[in-house]
Amino acid sequence: MIDSTCSLTRNRAMVLFAAAFTLLFMSGAAVPAEAASAARSALVAAMKKGGNVLVFRHADSPAALPDDKTAERDNLKRERQLNAAGKEGSTALGATLKRLGIPVGEVLVSPAYRAQQTARLAQLANAKIHDELTFEGTAMTETVTPAQAAWLKARAAALPKTGNTFIVTHSPNLAQAFPELTPALAAGEAAIFAPDGKGGTKLLGRLKIEEWAGL
C-alpha cells in the first residue's frame, strides 16, 4: 500500500512539474537547462504511461500546390503535401514513438493529404478520417465552424480507451479550439493534454517536431 501511494505521489508530482514548466515556457521566462530536462523526462514518462491526447498541427508543407511533376504518386487531387523537412520530421517522430515505447491508441486525422501524409510517415496506424479536423477555404479565407472547434476541444478532453490518442489537424482548427495556446503551434508541433476522465483536461506540455528525436 505504501509503495502504491508513493508511486501515485511521484506520478502526480511529475505531471505537475511538467505543467509548471509549460506555464513558465509559455510566459517567456527563462528556464534552467536542468529544469527543462526534468520536465521533458516527466512528459515522456506521462506519454509512456498512456492516457493522454496528443494534438498535432500537420508537418511542414509549402503553400504552393504541386504540379504533375512534383506531386506524390498518391496525391491524386494535387493537394498541398509535405516538403523534405516535413517528411523527415514525421519519420523521426514515428521512430521516436517506437524507440521510447509510447503507446499509440486511436488516431484521428484531417482528410487533407498533408495531414494524412504526416500520420502515415509517423507510422500512426489505423488512422480514421474526420471532416471535423479540416477547414473550408484558402489560407486567406479560413473558416472553422464553432461545431468543429467544439468537437476538437471535446476530443482533447476525452479519456483514451487505450494508449494515447493522436490527432492531426490544422492551424485554424487549433486556433479556434485552443486560443490559449500562444504562441500558435508550429508546423508539426504537438500539444499534449491529460484528460481527467470528468470532461476536463490539462496541458502537460508542447513538443516541436524536431524535438522528438532528442527525447
Domains of the chain, by residue range, sit at: 43-214
pLDDT tens readout for residues 11-26 = 554 544 555 445 444 4
- pLDDT at site 136: 80
Confidence band of 3 (pLDDT split at 50, 70, 90): very low
Q: What is the pTM of this model?
A: 0.84
Going by their DSSP bridges, the two strands 164-169 and 201-207 should be labelled as unpaired
For range 58-87, the mean pLDDT: 97
DSSP H/E element including 1: none
- 43-214 folds as Rossmann fold (3.40.50)
- pLDDT at site 196: 96
